[in-house]
Structure 1
Amino acid sequence: MKSLFDTETYQEIIDRIEKLNENSTPNWGEMSVGQMLTHCQKPLEVANGTLQLNTKIGFFKKLVMKFFKPLMYNDKSWQKNLGTVQEFKITEPKTFQEEKEKLIKIITAFSNKKDTNNWPEHPFFGTFNTEQWGKMQYKHLNHHLTQFGV
């Protein structure tokens, strides 16, 4: 599995984002390209420690989430139309160029943390190490860039 901490993979993601434009349409799902760019910022903000979700989950759900945790960063692609947490659902219109620039900035900040060992706890899945964070963030971005055909 590729990682956003790998220089070539980082550049691949940036190049794919640059191929998007305000008229890009999804192959599945309902988000506009601007909404997708905003949505992709959220998990990176959680990893960067700039967004904390106020989601509380019970013991049983935490136990179930531990079972699904490896799916977040393994080699298997995510299926289309997966659900997402409420805080990551973007329904209001977004400006393409502004959101694209923000996403690239956030990806760069994340990628520069490749030597970090002190990551915030994920609100659903608990702790991830650096390798897992890098793979998970790549997998999420790859999923949505594929959604938009780049």
Structure 2
Amino acid sequence: MSEQGTKREGGCMCGAVRFVATDVPSKAGVCHCEMCRRWTGSALIGVTVPTDKVTWSGDALGVIASSHWAERGFCTKCGSGMYFRVTMPGDWFGTTELPIGLFDDANGFEITNEIYIDHKPDSFAYAGMDGRRLLTRQECVEKFGVLDGGGPED
């Protein structure tokens, strides 16, 4: 799968929100922070796509400011979590994290990194750990800077 120009489509559980994303990478990441676990009911397994490469359709896309530096999109009809997006200028600004389970075809992704690894429940295990980049919460705070608090209010 090419890192540039790959087009994928997806949507929420009920179909009221759909999207088309281009420049979708084959490399996926996992976030084990408390907010992502509560939002997804598990861990967020997603891909980072330039925000301007995602086109949304439907009339049920809701948005909530989940912190002072980020927002999350969801379907107002079925509740599916649609995206995570940093709203504060910095390294992740201008990108949208799309959960891979939303894609019509979720095959072909490779998990290459996990963040908040020290918050991962002991019951979670993913195959193919060799070469995967793992970051603790503190390493995320140091790398991304905007994560300045200690809990879900981050």
- TM-score class, shorter-chain normalisation, is under 0.3
Larger RCO (alpha carbons 8 Å, 6+ apart): 1
- Greater share of strand: 2
- Greater share of helix: 1
